[in-house]
Amino acid sequence: MRIVKKDDITEPFVAPLGEKIYEMIGRPTEIGGTTNHSFVHVVIPPGKSSPKHYHKVSEETYYVLAGRGRIIIDGKEKIISPGDACLIMPGEIHQIFVESDENLEFLTVSAPAWVPTDTYIPED
């Protein structure tokens, strides 16, 4: 069993463009040892974004908790806000930007469980 709060993660991964990734449940043994899914809480501050990237294996679902964002998936743009869920399939190039003066916070479920080696930066 693993029960964890976002605030229990004292050293989130901070990506180069400013997003903070709180991996709460995932493949490493110390955070659950899951293989079929992972669960992450992401916080992106105003003016920041995720990198443009894709996954060859993992499906992702984002569920927005707070803030307002603009997501681009394979060149299609949508505004997302609290209560929105967004499916991203393997191979879809995606990037998310903050579109407000508050943090954009969302949950991500990846299946199978996300691993860093399944994140690819497209060549433009």
Checking if the pLDDT of 3 tops 90, the result is: yes
**Percent with pLDDT over 70 in the chain:** 100
Q: Is residue 104 part of a domain?
A: yes
| Domain span holding position 31 | 14-118
CB environment 40-75: b (16+ within 10 A), e (fewer): bbbbbeeebbbeeebbeebebebebeebbbbbebee
Q: Is residue 60 part of a domain?
A: yes
Q: Is residue 52 part of a domain?
A: yes
Q: Is residue 69 part of a domain?
A: yes
Count, residues in the chain: 124
Q: Please compute the mean of the pLDDT values over residues 96-124 and round it to a whole number.
A: 94
pTM of the entire structure? 0.94
- Cβ atoms of residues 75 and 90 within 8 Å: no
Q: Please compute the mean of the pLDDT values over residues 22-44 and round it to a whole number.
A: 96
**Can you give the CATH number for the domain in which 73 is found?**
2.60.120.10
Q: Is residue 46 part of a domain?
A: yes
Checking if the pLDDT of 109 tops 90, the result is: yes
Number of separate domains in the chain: 1
